Amino acid sequence: MERSLVGDLKSLPDGNSVVVKGWAQEIRSLKNLVFVVLRDSTGMVQATFKRDNFPDMDMLSNLSRESVINVEGKLNLKSKSKTGVEIEATGFTVLNVSESPLPLGIIDPVEADFETRLNNRFLDLRKPAKASIFRIKSSLIWGIREYLHRQNFVEVQTPKIVAAATEGGSDLFPVKYFEKEAYLNQSPQLYKEILISSGIDRVFEVGPAFRAEEHNTVRHLNEFTSVDIEMAFSDHNGAMTMLENSVKNGIESVLKASSKDLETLGLKIEIPKVPFPRISYEECRNIASANGVEIPFGEDLSVEALKFIGEKFHDFYFIVDWPSSLRPFYTMPNEKDPRYTNSYDLQYREKEITSGAQRVHNPDILKKRFIEKGLKAENFEFYIKAFKYGMPPHAGWGLGLERLLMILLDLPNIREGTLFPRDRTRIVP
């Protein structure tokens, strides 16, 4: 007989013969009966075993929790058990025995500390509420992908072992690459721009990005998922429209595909209204100043300043027109006032989720920007070459997927939305 998923049992006819497979979450032995709560990826069901029918019942009643079992039986949809559905068992097989005791409780009312949970992540993820986070993440990225495909973007894969720094010279992980020096890529920035000159026109990538940032905060990872786009014959305004619609489509996809997981997490989320408000860096400085926080021109908006700005502009909003000193070499200076750039960040309250810009497409301006930023142009020859033979004007963005998930689900720590986080102290598991 074919396996049924626990989540589908309610839609089957009462009294049907079924087979379910999963983990024995709880085992309770009474005089004449043994109850097993079986959990699979879709839910939990109680299986009831009558001792008289099973000469080998001791094997089941002594089985350790979290062992993997196969249960056959008759479906009882009128059951008063806490799982609402019951299986009156006619047979069982133990597929694999779990060791005991477990290093991490699955159903303990008090959660273990975060380090213990991450050290035993495979068990932590057996808790339905933790698994829900990653099903939602999957729906979120599916919605973003689907939107970009509809807009004729081509999904690409670019190298993660590279010879030059993308986002400036710091925060790099060096890699021994035979006789050469190499690094883990900080962003697909240079490659997605090279692809623009290849005539593909619109590219996107979902892949890992590596940052050797020393600080260990609730918002920073040393390896995160970067969702990147680059589009030809467009500017920062075109890229911002693409971004707000990608985020909206991602959230719509979560609501459509993961409503049960949102329920498991006790969350209600709303589809954001587009367009998102746009406010300039200068307006942000003024808001900060009105609240007693002075930001000198050319300096980044402090966490304190962003708190005041975030209180004024709820939910999603763009900060646009950043000063040149704060943006990487590839960012297009504003044609009227080159102290500023055609760039933006997408924010949610005080948190940054995305940065993007129109890019420089003229190779001579690009070389000047390298010098201004104290970078050696000769390290970027492979990149500059792509600008010499007909590079269209272009723009794009890079979105931190875990940051977006974090704000959507109100996670207290970005690591909650990362299966196996990499941070200053953690490289295992």
Return binding residues for ATP: 211-213, 219-221, 352, 400-403
202 and 231 in contact (C-beta within 8 Å)?
Answer: yes
Nearer to ligand 4AD, 100 or 217 (CB): 217
In the set 220, 285, 361, 415, the catalytic residue is 220
Residue 364 contacts residue 175 (beta carbons within 8 Å): no
Smaller CB separation from ligand 4AD, 43 or 356? 356
Active site residue 138: no
| Phi, psi (deg, nearest 5) at residue 253 | -65, -40
Residues annotated within a binding site for Mg(2+): 352, 355
In whole angstroms, the minimum distance from the beta carbon of 209 to ligand 4AD comes to 7
Q: CA–CA separation, 54 vs 295, rounded Å?
A: 75
SS3 135: helix
270 counts as catalytic = no
> Does residue 220 carry a catalytic annotation?
yes
Catalytic residue check, 179: no
Angstrom distances, CA of residue 8 to CA of 12, 75, 190, 375, 391: 7, 12, 47, 59, 54
Smallest distance, Å, CB 375 to ligand 4AD? 15
CB of 101 to ligand 4AD, least distance (A): 35
- The smaller minimum CB distance to ligand 4AD, of residues 261 and 402, is found at 402
3-class DSSP state of 50 = strand
Q: Which of 230, 355, 361, 416 is catalytic?
A: 355
Is 355 annotated as catalytic? yes
Numbered residues of the known binding site for L-aspartate? 167, 211, 355, 359
Residue 39: active-site member: no
Shortest spacing between CB 242 and ligand 4AD, in angstroms: 12
Which residue in the block uniquely carries the two structure tokens 């070499």? 329
Active-site position among 65, 211, 327, 369: 211
- The string of DSSP codes covering 30-49 is -SSEEEEEEEETTEEEEEEE
Q: From CA 422, how far away is CA 428, in angstroms rounded?
A: 8
Spatial distance between the Cα atoms of 306 and 346, rounded to a whole number of angstroms = 12
State the nearest-atom distance from the C-beta of 353 to ligand 4AD, in Å.
5
| 352 among known catalytic residues | yes
> Which CB atom, from 217 or from 259, has the smaller least distance to ligand 4AD?
217
- Two structure tokens written together for 130: 């933790």
Residue nearest to ligand 4AD (CB): 400
Query: Closest CB to ligand 4AD among 66 and 167?
Result: 167
Q: Taking the CA of residue 66 as centre, how many other CA atoms within 13 Å lie in the half-sphere pointing to its CB?
A: 16
Residues in touch with ligand 4AD (CB under 6 A): 167, 187, 189, 211, 213, 220-221, 224, 226, 228, 352-357, 396-398, 400, 402-403
Instruction: Give me the phi and psi of 365, to 5 degrees please.
Output: -65, -40
Q: Which of the residues are catalytic?
A: 211, 213, 219-220, 352, 355, 403
